[in-house]
Amino acid sequence: MSVYTDHDLARQQPEHPKASQLGETGHCDRRSPFSHDRARILHSGALRRLADKTQVVGPQEGDVPRTRLTHSLEVAQISAGIAAGLGVDEDLAELAGLAHDIGHPPYGHNGERALDDLAAECGGFEGNAQTLRILTRLEPKVLADDGSSRGLNLSRAALDAICKYPWTRQPGNKKFGAYVDDAATLAWVREGAPQHRKCLEAQIMDWSDDIAYSVHDVEDGILSGRIDLRVLGDSSESSALAADAHETFGLSADRVAAAASRLWELPHVRDVAESCVSNSMPPSNTASANAVPAGSIPVKKYFGSRANLVALKQLTSELVGRFVNSTIATTRAHYSGELGRYHGELKISRDIEAEVGLLKTVAVRYVMHNVDHLRAQERQYDRIFRVANWLMNAGEGGLDPVFWDDWKAACQADDDAARMRVVVDQIASYTETRLERVDRAAAGIQAGWG
């Protein structure tokens, strides 16, 4: 008996078969409902816009930067791999990975912070709540019988698989999965589900996000010259990382310190550490990574020879495989039957959790807290506020037509909070390039008014 039922396959708006499914073309579409859901996400404008939204190193930095789109593709691939190992529906796990960041605004978590401050009077902003709003309301695909938007009209199981935080905003909790406006939609998605419990596919997506974040953001930090893996073998730096991991992610400092020792013993980690050298000096002329004294780790530019790039790619592959295979084995050791939806939980060993947490902390400590990065964040925050203020004054003249009906309804109700929600929806939909273009254009228009 399948763990996926008709209840899981239901859509908010019933749909009639396409002509191609009725045999008029001689072809019958044999894709599963979850394969249809995956295709809708893959073809959505919201997914494409992630190509110009920051991951860690911004889209304008470097020749081959990671963006929210490439990150989402990587999360989708990792999710599908874990699902395959557990016998969970791969389309469902993959689509969750594809869609998990669709609600993130320009400038990543910094943009999220700015929009949350802007939207304080209308329920705040959270990237995961915005994801649900986009998929069920803002992305144009299907209209209900009354003319209201159903977004992509995904199946219940698909929406549930994307839901990291299956609750509305609670006092003192910054993470939530739906605004009050969308509470009824979340209730439909969660109908029959255990309260506050994520389905297995959402757990897979969430953990795959951590794996991708931990490995690939560190890779980007190495390539950009901000991370030097010799920190893992330095007692002072590894102790500081362990303390940071405890403070930021709530992990045991002792476990994280032990994780640093384990990872430092991996040959590929040593190979990559040897590649962090001055720009003009080949690796053969540098001191051994083992000879670096404790507490004296000046970050040096990564020397990107072909051999060094191969070593870096081998390291990322080894780490992803290490984390994925351990997760599959640990989970399988707990269950013998069919897994999916609310049949089973993802099981992660404490050692692997500590290793992933350590790498996430490396990215936070050496990239997120980089002085230049923090200065750029201040400028980004101010830019979002300027554009929001301009849109509130410009109204329909500044909004995309897709938001006009929402704006008119807010104006007819004389509801400033509703107007701000429309402005926040608009800004969240911008790419970073477009946001900066709108900021410049708005400044020119306002100068003309003066």
Is residue 123 helix, strand or coil? coil
Average pLDDT estimate for 219-244: 91
What pLDDT, in 10s, does the model give residues 146-193? Answer: 999 999 999 999 999 999 999 999 888 889 999 999 999 999 999 999
Cα 316 from chain centroid?
A: 18
Is residue 409 helix, strand or coil? helix
> Distance (Å, rounded) from C-alpha 65 to C-alpha 268?
22
CB 173 within 8 A of CB 126: no
Residues 131, 238, single domain; the answer is: no
pLDDT category at 35 given cuts 50, 70, 90 is: very high
**Boundary (domain end) residue, out of 180, 197, 214:** 197
> Distance (Å, rounded) from C-alpha 391 to C-alpha 147?
26
> Distance (Å, rounded) from C-alpha 142 to C-alpha 136?
9
> Distance (Å, rounded) from C-alpha 446 to C-alpha 242?
49
Over 80: is that where the pLDDT of 279 sits?
A: no
Is 393 contained in some domain? yes
pLDDT at 287: 39
Residues 193, 254, single domain; the answer is: no
Total structural domains within the chain:
3
Would you put residue 109 in left (φ > 0), alpha (ψ -120 to 50) or beta?
Answer: alpha
Over 80: is that where the pLDDT of 61 sits?
A: no
Is 343 contained in some domain? yes
pLDDT category at 449 given cuts 50, 70, 90 is: low
Over 50: is that where the pLDDT of 257 sits?
A: yes
> Distance (Å, rounded) from C-alpha 199 to C-alpha 193?
8
pLDDT at 56: 61
Q: Which helix (H) or strand (E) holds 131?
A: helix 127-133
Over 60: is that where the pLDDT of 230 sits?
A: yes
Average pLDDT estimate for 386-411: 97
pLDDT category at 371 given cuts 50, 70, 90 is: confident
Residues 210, 322, single domain; the answer is: yes
A 10 A CB-CB count for 15 gives 10
Residues 264, 413, single domain; the answer is: no
Over 60: is that where the pLDDT of 297 sits?
A: no
- What Cα–Cα distance (Å) separates residue 87 from each residue in 5, 94, 161, 281, 341? 16, 13, 15, 49, 12
Residue given tokens 């998990």 in the structure block: 100
pLDDT at 129: 98
CB 228 within 8 A of CB 234: no
- Strand-pairing partners, residue 178, are 168
Q: List the end-to-end C-alpha distance of the chain, in Å, as a whole number.
A: 70
pLDDT at 26: 59
Residue given tokens 């920051």 in the structure block: 54
Is 422 contained in some domain? yes
Residues 282, 210, single domain; the answer is: yes
- Strand-pairing partners, residue 11, are 155
Average pLDDT estimate for 410-427: 98
Residue given tokens 């191609």 in the structure block: 20
Q: How many CA atoms lie within 13 A of 345 on its CB side?
A: 6
> Distance (Å, rounded) from C-alpha 294 to C-alpha 235?
6
Query: Interhelix angle for 350-363 vs 200-223, to 10°?
Result: 40
Is 17 contained in some domain? no
- Strand-pairing partners, residue 67, are 54
Could you give the dihedral angle defined by the CA atoms of residues 381, 385, 390 and 393, in that order, rounded to the nearest 10 degrees? 170
Residues 219, 334, single domain; the answer is: yes
What's the chain's average pLDDT? 90
pLDDT at 19: 62
Residues 183, 212, single domain; the answer is: no
pLDDT category at 303 given cuts 50, 70, 90 is: confident
CB 46 within 8 A of CB 72: no
Instruction: Please enumerate in sequence order all residues whose Cβ is within 8 A of that of 124, keeping only pairs 6 or more positions apart, or say none.
Output: 116, 169, 179
- Strand-pairing partners, residue 154, are none
pLDDT at 87: 97
Over 90: is that where the pLDDT of 412 sits?
A: yes
Largest CA distance in the chain: 74
What pLDDT, in 10s, does the model give residues 87-141? Answer: 999 999 999 999 999 999 999 889 999 999 999 999 999 999 999 999 999 999 9
94 exposed, middle or buried (CB, 10 Å; 0-12, 13-18, 19+)?
buried
Is 26 contained in some domain? no
Residues 215, 144, single domain; the answer is: no
**Boundary (domain end) residue, out of 369, 387, 421:** 369
* Closest to 166 in 3D by CA, of 141, 149, 148, 191: 191
* Closest to 385 in 3D by CA, of 438, 341, 431, 308: 438
**Boundary (domain end) residue, out of 197, 214, 248:** 197
pLDDT at 96: 99
DSSP 148-190: -B-TT--BHHHHHHH-SS-SB-BTTB---SB-GGGHHHHHHHT
Residues 420, 313, single domain; the answer is: no
Residues 267, 241, single domain; the answer is: yes
| Radius of gyration, CA atoms only, the chain | 23
Lowest mean pLDDT among 72-76, 242-246, 287-291: 287-291
Lowest mean pLDDT among 202-216, 222-236, 292-306: 292-306
Over 50: is that where the pLDDT of 40 sits?
A: yes
Over 70: is that where the pLDDT of 62 sits?
A: no
Over 80: is that where the pLDDT of 24 sits?
A: no
Residues 138, 271, single domain; the answer is: no
Lowest mean pLDDT among 110-119, 292-301, 326-335: 292-301
* Closest to 327 in 3D by CA, of 308, 351, 311, 306: 351
Average pLDDT estimate for 14-38: 78
Is 306 contained in some domain? yes
pLDDT at 368: 77
The two tokens of residue 169 are 């905003």
Residue given tokens 């030097």 in the structure block: 228
Domain of residue 432 covers 374-443
CB 152 within 8 A of CB 20: no
Residues 363, 379, single domain; the answer is: no
* Closest to 103 in 3D by CA, of 424, 413, 445: 424
